[in-house]
Amino acid sequence: MYVVRRFKDNPILRPEINSTFENYSVFNGNPVRVGNQIYMLYRAQSTPEKFENGNFSLSVICKAVSRNGFKFKDREVFIMPEYSWEKFGCEDPRVTKIDGKYFCFYTALSSYPFSSSGIKVGLAISNDLKTIYEKHQITPFNAKAMTLFPEKINGKYLAILTANSDKPPSHISIAEFSELEDMWSKKYWDKWYADLDKNTLDIPKFDDEHLEVGSCPLKTKDGWLVVYSNVHNYLSPEKIFTVEAVLLDLKNPRNVIGKTRGALLTPEEVYEKYGTVPNVIFPSGAEIISDRLFIYYGATDTTIATASVPLAPLLASMKFPYKEIGFLRQTEGALISSRKEKSWEAKAVFNPGVIDLDGKIRLLYRAMSSDNTSVLGYAESLDGTSISYISPDPVYTPREWFEEKKVPGGNSGCEDPRITKIGSTIYMCYTAYNGLNPPSVAQTHISQKDFQKRNWNWSKPVLVTADGVDDKDGCLHPEKINGKYLLFHRINNSICVDFGETPEFKERNNFKNILILSPRPGMWDALKVGVSVPPIKTSKGWILLYHGVSKRSRYRIGAVLLDLKDPTKVLSRTTDALFEPREAYEVEGQVDYVVFPCGAAVRGDTIYMYYGGADSVIDVASMSLKALLQALTK
């Protein structure tokens, strides 16, 4: 459980307008330690010029120096084209020190227009990273992103590289050499390429994903850590560039012993979305500084940026077999299942809202009849993990035009309640749907006294979101902000907030729809996000649990930390999901692969999260509030 954080002063390297060799772009930097300094080797381009009926910009490899890895100076050209096999550019360096020498691998371009046959690996060797005394063409076939391991393994030099990088499918592969000279031996590589599948690492991926080596291998106590690029939808115009990492066995790096559960980074910031090549991030280097992994990446083929992640929780989450992180289930089976003899919940029970009052955790849950009408039932728990009372009848039913059934047999009613207490009043937001109009967020309220006595004297419900707009996942913030009520809701697959003078939000048709959280393409929450549980107050900020849906339509749970005084400001966001479908009743049901919480209760250091499984049953999972807050704030 961890948060990947971008450096606050990104990008750390930008083009220099007055430089003849890097006034257009600087990107794909690779750091290497030299004494107490960090040298950054990176790709640089000048402004494109007309050449052979097109625009051409020559790539060279530049060098800059830093003491802290963030602020660089003394920028200069380090590697330039000299030979026919690199005459159209030198790109994307990776440098490793071994045997007292620096081996700088790079992409060498020998043809223009660019084609896979003219894209190969080159090598420059230096004693001091000041001058180069030797160069070689390495691969006779299409390849990129080669780099050496920083020490011999089992008496041999090992390299990792991307073969067939420009004629997919690509292969992240291992090569080993008895002598350094084998690295530029055509005979060696012809034999190696004939056994390409044998030399390729078994990194789990989907068929539409394209993998390419990013960083040089970093030695950790748990294995060799390699950051790499995963391009989703590679053969589609809608490519999505993400950053992932793999863990290799220390003694035999051909064995994959772990990987990140999904992407660490995807284009989100302005400098990652807009530039020479929009929506591109490419991890070209990494360093371990103190207890954090720093990832250096090219952003839109224009600048260099960096992001970091705590090393220990990253490694712990990567190792096979995966262990559950975040929330852990607290029952042997579903906490509440539908009572078939009750017509109003005969089909399913799910998605409960929750409030903890007077020593009882109280649930308002969505119940569905055989004719697909949703009403709300009620249950109580004394200990958080067992049910001590459940209502014989629904406690809230459709009563207004916007939730009464308009299409016989179709879905309608009151769905997915979320409960907030302000003062002595309990407010309930829920999704109101009549089967004809778009779903909207409705709100009703009840006194705390009546709620505790089970006197269901609900106020007349009103819509609190705009007419004719598909809007769901609404909840009221537990405190007023600057004297105003704050409503969370979902518009266009993103979480928005709006302010109101009253909890009825009469401003609803003039909402500003202030965006606070969007899907992250290429990650577990790529398709849509929505509020799960009303914000939980802590000393460091408001924890907001949210659900995210992947492009393969799996629902998972994550968390963000909102600013204490300004909850419209997101301070941090978990990288991996904290909870996902695993049990049979979460994997298969009315909607497969769904965990969907609408409420939680905090007792001591424990968050009890109540959720619907596959839109069919209700269960509970818990985790440490302190551990979650630490992950969000570290």
Percentage of the chain modeled with pLDDT above 70: 100
Q: Which of 283, 317, 351 is the last residue of a domain?
A: 317
Query: What's the rounded mean pLDDT across residues 580-603?
Result: 97
Interior angle at CA 573, CA 245 and CA 583, nearest 5: 75
**Owner of token pair 């020490």:** 151
H/E stretch holding 630 reads helix 625-633
Indicate whether 299 and 447 sit together in one domain: no
User: What are the beta bridge partners of residue 497?
Assistant: 488, 514
Indicate whether 297 and 350 sit together in one domain: no
Residue 293 has what DSSP assignment?
E
Pairing status of strand 256-259 against strand 281-289: unpaired
225 lies in a domain?
yes
Count CB-CB contacts under 10 A for residue 116: 15
H/E stretch holding 587 reads helix 584-587
Query: What's the rounded mean pLDDT across residues 555-571?
Result: 97
Query: What's the rounded mean pLDDT across residues 84-99?
Result: 95
Is the pLDDT assigned to residue 614 strictly greater than 90?
yes
Domain count, the chain: 2
pLDDT at residue number 56: 83
Average pLDDT, the chain: 95
323 lies in a domain?
no
Residue 170 has what DSSP assignment?
P
Indicate whether 142 and 278 sit together in one domain: yes
Indicate whether 122 and 19 sit together in one domain: yes
Query: What's the rounded mean pLDDT across residues 122-139?
Result: 95
Indicate whether 102 and 51 sit together in one domain: yes
**Owner of token pair 């269960």:** 619
Indicate whether 392 and 247 sit together in one domain: no
**Owner of token pair 């807009």:** 274
Query: What's the rounded mean pLDDT across residues 258-265?
Result: 96
> Which has the closest alpha carbon to 609: 352, 357, 391?
352
Is the pLDDT assigned to residue 51 strictly greater than 80?
no
226 lies in a domain?
yes
H/E stretch holding 194 reads helix 186-194
The strand order across the sheet containing 494-500 reads 472-476, 485-491, 494-500, 514-517
Q: Which of 249, 282, 317 is the last residue of a domain?
A: 317
Q: Which of 250, 284, 317 is the last residue of a domain?
A: 317
Instruction: Name the residue range of residue 84's domain.
Output: 5-317
The CATH number linked to 548 is 2.115.10.20
pLDDT at residue number 32: 94
The CA distance from 49 to 58, in Å, is 9
pLDDT at residue number 589: 96
